[in-house]
């Protein structure tokens, strides 16, 4: 038997062990081949696959890349290298590998599916959808591709189609927990809460300690108004892939809601500016010494407010404290359900001097003075959140019908890249833009105080206006955030807020038409 024949025989033995999940025996065989043939590409590749299966990602990348250098024409090598790179969060490199695999083998359903998954992770849902569909065209019973297609369709706001794709995946593999979780999320987006809960509960029956499922269950319960249960499940957020990395670990214990009795409590902000503006209200209701750590852009606004809290800019040294609490854990400890009476009065105020200065600058604007925000902000390094931002945001051109409403002076409150659209507004929609002067939320609050109304998509500015007690019209997407509930035009958190909701996913036209009609009724000569 020649050396080549001997290696082939050993490779078949190794593959047999590998297919039967006897990884140690397979590794021994592949390693034996490499001792006599160090350039045996298949053995290097398969050792890399074992390393990937056992969680040694860097080793897998090195071995499979070495195999690919020896044989650049192998689509399976390129695809498996993409898998390892994707696990290592090297998403652009993984995409390159999947595309290389498809260049070698255009009819490779696995490469199409995996490329779809990595495009989703990069926040490119339309491209992801196309590749998932291509994978299913080649292999209609491909469970992973049905599941990934469901995710891509949901990212694109195609929720009914997404639910159908998830159900197709479950028909092929009923015990697939990931798919049940995804279907629960989709059904929650559609407002079919009882069905969503059934999917989450079925998934939890098999995996009761899944943080992802419990977190999604919690958000659905909150959306339903089942606050006590919802906040309890929401605490699982710190074990999820999305929020777990941002968890703050201190040697001091978590606060359990008990009287401080001379202890000092640190409340630390989490997630976005809007979350901090919404839930900082609870800090004022804690009796005792409270430290409130917030993003620097909010510190100037919150200083001297919220009872006797000492405001600390995130990044500055922390004073001594005895116990701590993430901000969104406060409601469960203080007031699980929002209290209309407690929320009846504004809990933030703008600086009187700054407010007076802005009122002077705005006094010559005729008619109703309306602030406008049409887009949210994408968080760096979190492209999946960018997908959600795409659904909550619109372009300035979408607001063109508002230009037909007489008796309104428009003031842009839009920050970030979408603010560049003010340079080319829709005809007739003249925007007064002072945003270059808004270097923190204290300045923005003073400007907002000088307005009659704020119209905003779901951004921090909507929360700011609500906290100040200013009239605010929220332009809300169909798959609304849990905090706005469903089937409501008001808000339990902000008595001055009115919601205008998409009747169908992506339907901003109806929303803008409804807002234009309401604004025409409200606008008129100033008294």
User: Which tokens is 510 given?
Assistant: 């109806």
Confidence band, pLDDT 50/70/90 cuts, at residue 379: low
Inform me whether the pLDDT recorded for 354 exceeds 90.
yes
Higher pLDDT, 111 or 11: 111
Inform me whether the pLDDT recorded for 527 exceeds 80.
no
**C-beta separation of 63 from 47 below 8 A:** yes
Element (H, E) at 369: strand 368-373
pLDDT value of position 30? 86
pLDDT value of position 381? 64
Classified as helix, coil or strand, 156 is coil
pLDDT value of position 396? 96
98-107, 343-352, 402-411: the lowest-pLDDT one: 343-352
Instruction: Check for a shared fold between 3-179 and 352-522.
Output: no
pTM of the model: 0.90
Question: According to DSSP H, which parts of 71-124 are helical?
Answer: 75-87, 91-104, 109-121
Inform me whether the pLDDT recorded for 273 exceeds 80.
yes
What is the CATH code for 352-522?
Answer: 3.40.50.2000
Among candidate residues 434, 458, 456, the one with its CA nearest the CA of residue 446: 434
**C-beta separation of 422 from 507 below 8 A:** no
pLDDT value of position 55? 94
Q: DSSP assignment of 383-406, as one string?
A: HHHHHHHHHH---GGGGGGGGG-S
What tens digit of pLDDT does each residue of 501-517 get? 999 999 999 999 999 99
Which contacts (CB < 8 Å, 24+ apart) does range 135-139 have? Answer: 135/109, 135/110, 136/109, 138/107, 138/108, 138/109, 138/112, 139/109
Confidence band, pLDDT 50/70/90 cuts, at residue 168: very high
41-45, 159-163, 183-187, 512-516: the lowest-pLDDT one: 41-45
Residue range 204-226: mean pLDDT, rounded = 95
Higher pLDDT, 3 or 234: 234
Domain boundaries, the chain: 3-179, 180-244, 248-334, 352-522
User: Which tokens is 278 given?
Assistant: 């919404």
CA quadruple 46, 47, 52, 57: dihedral positive or negative? negative
Classified as helix, coil or strand, 372 is strand
62-71, 267-276, 338-347: the lowest-pLDDT one: 338-347
pLDDT value of position 526? 46
Architecture of the domain spanning 180-244:
Alpha Horseshoe (1.25)
Residue range 425-439: mean pLDDT, rounded = 93
Inform me whether the pLDDT recorded for 137 exceeds 70.
yes
Residue range 145-149: mean pLDDT, rounded = 97
pLDDT value of position 12? 86
Element (H, E) at 155: helix 143-155
Element (H, E) at 16: helix 3-19
Residue range 19-31: mean pLDDT, rounded = 89
Inform me whether the pLDDT recorded for 524 exceeds 80.
no
Residue range 312-325: mean pLDDT, rounded = 96
116-120, 178-182, 308-312, 484-488: the lowest-pLDDT one: 484-488
What is the C-alpha to C-alpha distance for residues 152 and 132, in angstroms, rounded to an integer? 8
Among candidate residues 325, 321, 337, the one with its CA nearest the CA of residue 256: 325
Q: DSSP assignment of 286-298, as one string?
A: S-SEEEEEE-HHH
Inform me whether the pLDDT recorded for 35 exceeds 60.
yes
How large a percentage of the chain has pLDDT more than 70? 98
Average pLDDT, the chain: 93
**C-beta separation of 292 from 280 below 8 A:** yes
Taking CA 297 as the corner, what is the angle to CA 464 and CA 351, rounded to the nearest 5 degrees? 60
Q: DSSP assignment of 241-274, as one string?
A: TTTGGG----SSPBP-S---TT-EEEEE--S-HH
Residue range 263-269: mean pLDDT, rounded = 97
Question: Domain 3-179, what fold?
Answer: 1.25.40
pLDDT value of position 389? 86
């Amino acid at each position: 038997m020649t050396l080549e024949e001997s290696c082939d025989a050993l490779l078949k033995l190794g593959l047999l062990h590998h297919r039967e999940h006897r990884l140690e025996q397979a590794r021994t065989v592949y390693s034996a081949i490499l001792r006599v043939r160090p350039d045996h590409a298949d053995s290097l590749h398969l050792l890399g696959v074992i390393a990937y299966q056992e969680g040694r990602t860097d080793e897998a990348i090195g071995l499979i890349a070495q195999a690919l250098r020896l044989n650049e024409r192998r689509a399976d090598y390129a695809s498996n290298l993409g898998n390892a790179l994707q696990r290592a969060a090297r998403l652009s490199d993984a995409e390159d590998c999947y595309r290389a695999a498809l260049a070698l083998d255009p009819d490779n359903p696995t490469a199409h599916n995996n490329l779809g998954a990595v495009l989703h992770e990069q926040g490119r849902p339309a491209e992801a959808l196309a590749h998932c569909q291509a994978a299913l065209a080649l292999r209609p019973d491909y469970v992973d591709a049905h599941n990934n297609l469901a995710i891509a369709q949901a990212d694109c706001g195609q929720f009914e189609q997404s639910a159908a794709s998830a159900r197709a995946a479950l028909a092929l593999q009923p015990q697939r927990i990931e798919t049940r979780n995804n279907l629960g999320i989709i059904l929650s987006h559609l407002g079919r809460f009882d069905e969503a809960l059934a999917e989450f509960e079925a998934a939890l029956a098999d995996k009761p300690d899944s943080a992802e499922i419990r977190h999604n269950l919690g958000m659905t319960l909150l959306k339903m108004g089942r606050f006590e249960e919802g906040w309890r499940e929401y605490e699982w957020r710190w074990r999820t892939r999305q929020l777990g990395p941002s968890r703050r670990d201190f040697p001091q214990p978590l606060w359990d809601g008990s009287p401080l009795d001379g202890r000092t409590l640190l409340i630390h902000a989490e997630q976005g500016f809007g979350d901090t503006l919404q839930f900082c209200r609870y800090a004022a209701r804690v009796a005792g010494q409270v430290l409130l750590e917030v993003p620097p852009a909010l510190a100037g606004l919150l200083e001297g407010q919220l009872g006797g809290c000492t405001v600390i800019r995130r990044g500055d040294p922390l004073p001594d404290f005895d116990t701590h609490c993430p901000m969104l854990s406060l409601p469960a400890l203080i007031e699980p359900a929002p209290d209309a009476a407690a929320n009846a009065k504004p809990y933030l105020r703008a600086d009187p001097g700054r407010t007076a200065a802005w009122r002077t600058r705005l006094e010559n604007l005729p008619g109703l003075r309306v602030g406008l925000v049409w887009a949210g902000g994408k968080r760096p390094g979190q492209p999946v959140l960018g997908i959600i931002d795409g659904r909550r945001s619109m372009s300035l051109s979408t607001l063109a019908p508002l230009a037909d409403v007489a008796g309104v002076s428009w003031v842009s409150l839009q920050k970030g890249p979408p603010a560049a659209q003010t340079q080319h507004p829709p005809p007739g929609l003249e925007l007064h833009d002072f945003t270059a002067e808004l270097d923190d939320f204290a300045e923005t609050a003073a400007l907002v105080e000088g307005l009659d109304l704020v119209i905003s998509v779901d951004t921090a500015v909507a929360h700011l206006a609500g906290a100040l007690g200013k009239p605010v019209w929220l332009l809300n997407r169909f798959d609304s955030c849990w905090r706005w509930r469903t089937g409501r035009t008001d808000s339990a958190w902000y008595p001055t807020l009115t919601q205008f909701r998409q009747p169908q996913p992506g339907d901003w036209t109806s929303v803008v038409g409804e807002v234009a009609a309401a604004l025409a009724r409200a606008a008129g000569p100033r008294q």
